[in-house]
Amino acid sequence: MTTATHQHDDRCLDLFKKLSEYIDQELDKATCQQIEQHIKNCPPCRACLETLKTTAGLCRRIEEAPVPVALSDRLKKMINEMTV
Amino acid sequence: MPTSPRKSSTKNNSNDTELVRAIQSGRIDLYQELVSRYERKLYNFGLRMCRNASDAEDLVQDTFLNVFKYLNGFRHEAKFKNWLYKIAASACIKKRRRLKHAPDQTLSLEDFLPGDEAEMARKAPRWATIPLEQLLNEELADMLSDTIHALPDKYRIVAVLRDVEGFSTAETAKILDITPANVKVRLHRARLFLRDKLKNYFEHDHSHPSA
């Protein structure tokens, strides 16, 4: 693959498939090293990896909405009926 | 180096085990405590999976109804939280199947290969270099939530369980009754889909995210 046009060969596609597993530390050491070596010389894949990490990180930081009072009341009523 | 995945809380599971065992042994008055412990988590799971708040509320109610019904059959082979989400996820999948007329769209890996001009830069785009806590504001959170909703169902449920709720690959596979390999494939495509939308958001609408 060349960085000038970023033509993807089979090797590049094979590593691209594994970027999420790399982020999640689910790959063996040898494959991690292959990815690290690849992204050193491939700015588009490096940018993809960094933005993918940010994407996953943002999902993990979405704040939770509070439970509506009406739902809590509904659940309490249901439980009272079930447990009496 | 890769980032660490979110760890599940052993302490919470141990607390759940004690509470669930007490309810199973007859202390049904403690069921409210179990519901209070998870109603917010489940409601938010429902908001990510359903199209509206009303459906999310129904999901929470139906899930706790079924949990109560089947709790005596729970044998503690999995964490209670995972069993709870299995019931909730199953309700979501059944509901979506009833409402749907067309099969899920398949996301193709080739469609997400990097290579456009913006990504030919030598450095990662600015939005990927800003600390997450500074990057995430209300508008971005709303946009991200909308984009999660835009994911086809089979990808969305995996992305929500893995990246929003923090379940591991193995746990997600058990909750959804699919293989860990399938979880990984769906998660990667879901993340690539979300990444594409974020990239467009920052490049076209918000080209100068504040640091």
Give domain status of residue A37, yes or no: yes
Give domain status of residue A68, yes or no: no
Chain B residues close to A63, C-beta within 8 Å: 141
Report pLDDT for B5: 43
Would the CB atoms of A58 and B124 count as touching at under 8 Å?
no
pTM value is: 0.88
Do A21 and B169 meet the contact criterion of CB atoms below 8 Å apart?
no
| pLDDT band at residue A9 under the 50/70/90 scheme | low
Chain B residues close to A32, C-beta within 8 Å: 2
Q: Does A82 touch chain B (CB under 8 A)?
A: yes
Q: What's the residue count for chain B?
A: 211
Spatial neighbors of B127 by CB under 8 A, at least 6 apart, are A51, A54, B135, B198, B202, B209
Report pLDDT for B119: 54
CA-nearest residue to B42 within chain A is A67
Residue B127 is nearest to which of A6, A48, A54, comparing CB atoms?
A: A54
Spatial neighbors of B79 by CB under 8 A, at least 6 apart, are B8, B13, B16, B171
Closest Cα partner for B38 from A57, A25, A13, A79?
Answer: A79
**Top CATH class, B109-205:** mainly alpha
Give domain status of residue A16, yes or no: yes
Spatial neighbors of B11 by CB under 8 A, at least 6 apart, are none
B166: left (phi over 0), alpha (psi -120 to 50) or beta: left
Q: What is the pLDDT of residues B16-61, one digit of tens each?
A: 999 999 999 999 999 999 999 999 999 999 999 987 899 999 999 9
Q: What is the pLDDT of residues A16-74, one digit of tens each?
A: 899 999 999 999 999 999 999 988 888 888 889 999 999 999 999 999 999 999 999 99
CATH 1.10.10.10 maps onto chain B at 109-205
| Centroid of chain to Cα A7 | 24
Domain count of the fold of chain A: 1
Q: Is A61 strand, coil or helix?
A: coil
For residue B26, which phi and psi values (nearest 5 degrees)?
A: 120, -10
Report pLDDT for B1: 45
DSSP designation for B160: I
Do B23 and B84 meet the contact criterion of CB atoms below 8 Å apart?
no
Would the CB atoms of B124 and A51 count as touching at under 8 Å?
yes
Residues of chain B with pLDDT under 70: 1-11, 100-102, 115-122, 205-211
CA-nearest residue to A57 within chain B is B132
**Between 2.130.10.10, 3.30.750.200, 1.10.1740.10, 3.40.50.720, what CATH number should domain B10-99 receive?**
1.10.1740.10
Q: What sections of A1-84 are H helices per DSSP?
A: 10-16, 19-23, 29-40, 43-60, 69-83
Q: Which domain holds residue A14?
A: 1-62
Report pLDDT for A41: 84
CATH 1.10.1740.10 maps onto chain B at 10-99
